[in-house]
Amino acid sequence: MKRLLSKLMLLVMVFTMFTSASNIYAARSDADTLSETRAVAGCPDSSDGKHHMKSRGSCRAINVNTGEVLDGMGGQCRYCNMLIVTQYNLFLYPSQGMGKYTTRDAWGYVGDGFTIEVNSISYNSSHTNAVGKSFVWE
């Protein structure tokens, strides 16, 4: 019985560590800094004004107003730390539209597999419009 209990406790600890590492939530929590919009502001820290997005793997965005969930590809700007979740994988296919997407400011670096809460989810069908040109997918 002791051995079974020990194994169960170890399993719970490993599960807790895994879920904590894969569901990082590092976005700002104060509502006035929430930055998802239909248009994306340029990156204030990059020399070309574009967000240079590094892949963060499969990520999730949850619309706190409607409960809508967007499971897609996540990225983070290497200059300003902005987070994005897109329906389509632009890291593999940068010449397609994002599909459904949303963005959010972050205080700093986040790991892979993050989850963010947002107020809206938008749609973008082209990589050549103003929103599409706001990003470089690295």
Residue 5, in any domain of the structure: no
Residues of the chain scoring pLDDT < 50 = 12, 14-37
In a domain, 51, yes or no: yes
Q: Is the full-model pTM beyond 0.95?
A: no
- Cβ–Cβ < 8 Å for 41, 35: yes
Does 16 map to a domain? no
Residue 8 maps to a domain: no
For residue 125, the model assigns a pLDDT of 87
| Residue 89 structural domain | 23-137
Tell me if 4 is assigned to some domain: no
What are the tens digits of pLDDT across the range 122-135? 999 888 888 889 99
For the chain, the domain total comes to: 1
In a domain, 6, yes or no: no
Of residues 27, 11, 17, 83, the one with CA closest to residue 51 = 83
Cβ count near 27 (within 10 Å): 23
- The answer to whether residue 18 sits within a structural domain is no
Q: Which residue has tokens 């929590």?
A: 29
